[in-house]
Structure 1
């Protein structure tokens, strides 16, 4: 073990967090580095607003965290350190090259420092550029051009080190078979980054004495993260069933009969496909529109893309209703909404329906939040051991989560009418009818919307060459669809088990809001 140990400062990219850098953090810590990983402004646990252009202030904050550790930990070298960054984190890392104590080495993952076509940042010495061959924003030719500009060698290629690490003039390009998002957990990139920083910061000779960079264990956390999150969400089903079973009969949500019209399979699939296409179209338009509104200062609440989300929820609720009215007819649409409790009842009865649904959903929300709180207590567990990507909504994020939840409810009411009033209408399925009906509902709901989502993702990643935030539009759509799959399962399940979807609507609205707000930076 090295004593004192050098530090590696890790900096995430746009919409990332310190927890998302776990692959690098774990493997570097196993190789005698003290790792300092920070949340940039507006990300993770940071309550500060994020300004994509203010990399200087973010660098000051990161440097302050680094110096605090160097000056207060006896086992840490008080000067020697390196920096590893992902994506736009490199724009922060590169600011440090002019600081009084500059990094001894840099590993830039998923960014080549290109400001615009043919124009690059002033590259620091001892720089590794590690890029996925399928990175949506960086072509292999772009990466090769970057290393050639950095080295001044027009024939420079990947996997060759140019210059001298001792003289701080070394450069290297590493390519891996991955895309932009998964660069942060790619084994080849993790290995190359560890090798580079060991040599640049600890010394070239140290590579022969340290743990082989190819010997990696971080993927165990990848498995734990996803299985932990999946298991937690899966636990909601028996929990809701237990609550429903043990609450007094008078407090249970009323059973609403599904007396909707039954259309033929082809017509049902066609209507559902139109609704799915409308959903993706509205998402794309409102997200792009919200992106523009945020750029001109019209942002509410203060989370990136939150304006677009709210516009999406409002417009989708309206256009879903209009489309169902046009394609299904007035009476069939009324019955579809009646199947989810939207019918001519007294205001008191509607309030009772919502409160009884809230009783079951509320316990599910408390269950989720309790685990999020537990996973965030370093004294009890390693920080965010189970759930690395969803955070407890602290401060402004808590307020934003409530706001987005409230706006999501009307959308999910219309979505539930689509699901229960059209796709889960009572058909003669024979044996295992509920299973067959649910499978058909999923296929009809997500077949067309899934295909269109892929088109949007590829389109927005292409636009990411112009505006980095546009990439998030597509990636957030994929995340939204994954969560939408979960909420559809919850809605279908409560429809069949409770004959009432209000618990699912409220719980799903909260989950959608929590994922969106915790995944995106404050602005």
Structure 2
């Protein structure tokens, strides 16, 4: 895998060129005189660091080459997802870079290139609950990066990653300044009890979280319907100020799809970061 991906955003691009025979009979490429725009280059590096319980965490880290002590956003994928989705299925990673943030997208344990503890192959509930250890490892790694302002770190979570963002906010209160939870919701299959909500954690105090969810985003069974908006309401009810819950009527879009399909959702996300990070 490449260690570095170069993303060049050019304001001017030569889109037309013509070919004509030269006086010597060769081929000459001709075209209009178009100057290149200033452009911006964002190196995105693949990095690895260890969690407290010895899991090697794989992540993608991006920041402008000259960045020093800028606000930073941690991106957490949904169950079954991986870090690459923040580049392949949405432009959020790049937009954050363009707006002056450093960004790190994490493969949580059992996903992407991050293994499960002891090289297990089956993801367990305890692994989902322990995903906060991956966030803690990310926070510690960020402390060593000159581009990062350690006092201005946010977490954005997609789906079950929104649950992890919620729990991380309540545990790492000194390290995480604010969070955004996109369509949070995770239930145990047999009992349908909610998972990854900070249950049993002492001194648990989530705060400063924006919740974004579609009103029609739900899981339908033969006898029960699990609604993500209801799940988000329950999390928001125990979140200290500042907090906000926005439910988008007539939308069934989930997580990343919500910010892709509902422009207002993305606008609210960036406004929240601007005001709270």
Query: What TM-score comes out, normalization by structure 2 length?
Result: 0.55
Other-structure match for 2:31: none
1:18 shift after superposition: 0.8
Could you tell me how far apart the structure 1 residues matched to 2:159 and 2:71 are?
Answer: 23
Partner SS for 1:173: strand
Other-structure match for 2:261: 186
1:8 shift after superposition: 0.8
Contact 1:104 1:168 in 2 (8 A): no
Could you tell me how far apart the structure 1 residues matched to 2:105 and 2:195 are?
Answer: 29
Partner SS for 1:54: helix
Could you tell me how far apart the structure 1 residues matched to 2:176 and 2:111 are?
Answer: 23
Other-structure match for 1:28: 96
1:102 shift after superposition: 3.6
Could you tell me how far apart the structure 1 residues matched to 2:253 and 2:228 are?
Answer: 15
Other-structure match for 2:236: 150
1:150 shift after superposition: 2.9
- Does the C-alpha gap of structure 1 residues 65 and 144 become closer, same or farther in structure 2, counting only changes over 3 Å? closer
Bigger Rg, which one: 1
Could you tell me how far apart the structure 2 residues matched to 1:183 and 1:38 are?
Answer: 20
Contact 1:151 1:171 in 2 (8 A): no
Contact 2:68 2:147 in 1 (8 A): yes
Other-structure match for 1:8: 73
Other-structure match for 2:110: 42
Contact 1:132 1:175 in 2 (8 A): yes
Structure with a larger share of its residues in helix? 1
Partner SS for 2:136: helix
Could you tell me how far apart the structure 1 residues matched to 2:276 and 2:213 are?
Answer: 19
Q: Deviations over 1:150-173 (max 9, x none)?
A: 348xxxxxxxxxx9xxx8432222
- Does the C-alpha gap of structure 1 residues 72 and 53 become closer, same or farther in structure 2, counting only changes over 3 Å? same
Other-structure match for 1:131: 213
Higher relative contact order (CA 8 A, sep 6+): 1
Partner SS for 1:53: helix
Could you tell me how far apart the structure 2 residues matched to 1:3 and 1:57 are?
Answer: 31
For structure 2, the residue ranges without an aligned partner over 5 or more in a row are 1-63, 199-204
Contact 2:102 2:147 in 1 (8 A): no
Could you tell me how far apart the structure 1 residues matched to 2:186 and 2:273 are?
Answer: 19
Could you tell me how far apart the structure 2 residues matched to 1:119 and 1:66 are?
Answer: 23
- Does the C-alpha gap of structure 1 residues 113 and 126 become closer, same or farther in structure 2, counting only changes over 3 Å? farther
Query: Which residue among 77, 83, 96 is the counterpart of 2:155?
Result: 83
Partner SS for 2:207: coil
Matches within 5 A, 1:370-385: none
Could you tell me how far apart the structure 2 residues matched to 1:150 and 1:6 are?
Answer: 24
1:85 shift after superposition: 0.5
CA RMSD of aligned residues (A): 3.6
Could you tell me how far apart the structure 2 residues matched to 1:6 and 1:151 are?
Answer: 27
For structure 1, the residue ranges without an aligned partner over 5 or more in a row are 153-162, 202-523
Q: Deviations over 1:377-403 (max 9, x none)?
A: xxxxxxxxxxxxxxxxxxxxxxxxxxx
Contact 1:174 1:192 in 2 (8 A): no
Other-structure match for 1:121: 197
User: Matched residue pairs, number?
Assistant: 187
1:6 shift after superposition: 1.4
Q: Deviations over 1:329-359 (max 9, x none)?
A: xxxxxxxxxxxxxxxxxxxxxxxxxxxxxxx
Q: Deviations over 1:389-432 (max 9, x none)?
A: xxxxxxxxxxxxxxxxxxxxxxxxxxxxxxxxxxxxxxxxxxxx
Q: Deviations over 1:12-35 (max 9, x none)?
A: 011111111233222222222111
Other-structure match for 2:242: 169
Does residue 101 of structure 1 match 2:165? no
1:135 shift after superposition: 1.6
Contact 1:133 1:140 in 2 (8 A): no
- Does the C-alpha gap of structure 1 residues 144 and 58 become closer, same or farther in structure 2, counting only changes over 3 Å? closer
Matches within 5 A, 1:352-391: none
Could you tell me how far apart the structure 2 residues matched to 1:190 and 1:40 are?
Answer: 24
Matches within 5 A, 1:155-234: 168-175=241-248, 177-180=251-254, 182-183=257-258, 185-188=260-263, 189-201=265-277
Contact 2:128 2:196 in 1 (8 A): no
Contact 2:71 2:149 in 1 (8 A): yes
Partner SS for 1:126: strand
